């Protein structure tokens, strides 16, 4: 699937008491990036509702002033749900700073009744994407 990218600069108001990116802010940005990815694949942001964040983990600290990108890829398509893997990447070093997975359900706008979305994952030979897909499927076993 296509990867979508959003970028943020970490400012002082985004920091915790250790002067690193506050996890709550990172998760907020991750959910936003995953919604953007899911809605662009689905084609209608009004037809998606947030359901769950399955995992979010920091690999490295994010410092003030860093420019970071949230790269979201749809890695699981259930009948009525889409799961997005988001990697938080340093624009300066290319390092993976954090990673998480978020699931959205497809709904009828105005009623929020769940509906089948009809999306299928494309074929891929990318080892990273295959690993992300396997991990996402584990959340639903």
Give the tens place of pLDDT for each residue, 23-64. 999 999 999 999 999 999 998 788 999 999 999 999 999 999
pLDDT at 95: 97
Give the domain range for residue 116. Answer: 3-138
Two tokens at 114?
């769940």
Question: What pLDDT band is residue 70 in, cutting at 50, 70 and 90?
Answer: very high
What CA–CA distance (Å, rounded) separates 38 from 75? 10
Nearest-angstrom CA–CA distance, 84 and 3: 10
- Per-residue pLDDT tens over the stretch 80-98: 999 999 999 999 999 999 9
The enclosing domain of 22 has a CATH number of 3.10.129.10
Q: Report residue 110's pLDDT band, with 50, 70 and 90 as the boundaries.
A: confident
Return the pLDDT at 117: 93
Number of domains in the chain: 1
């Amino acid at each position: 699937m296509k990867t979508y990218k959003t970028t943020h600069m970490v400012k002082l108001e985004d920091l915790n008491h250790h002067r690193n990116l506050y996890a709550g802010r990172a998760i907020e940005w991750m959910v936003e990036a995953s919604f953007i990815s899911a809605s662009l694949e689905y084609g209608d942001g009004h037809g998606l509702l947030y359901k769950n964040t399955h995992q979010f983990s920091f690999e490295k600290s994010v410092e003030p002033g860093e420019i970071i990108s949230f790269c979201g890829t749809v890695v699981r398509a259930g009948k009525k749900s889409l799961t997005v893997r988001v990697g938080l990447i340093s624009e300066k070093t290319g390092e993976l700073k954090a990673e998480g997975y978020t699931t959205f359900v497809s709904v009828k706008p105005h009623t929020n009744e769940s509906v089948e979305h009809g999306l299928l994952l494309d074929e891929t030979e990318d080892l990273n994407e295959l690993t992300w897909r396997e991990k996402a499927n584990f959340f639903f076993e």
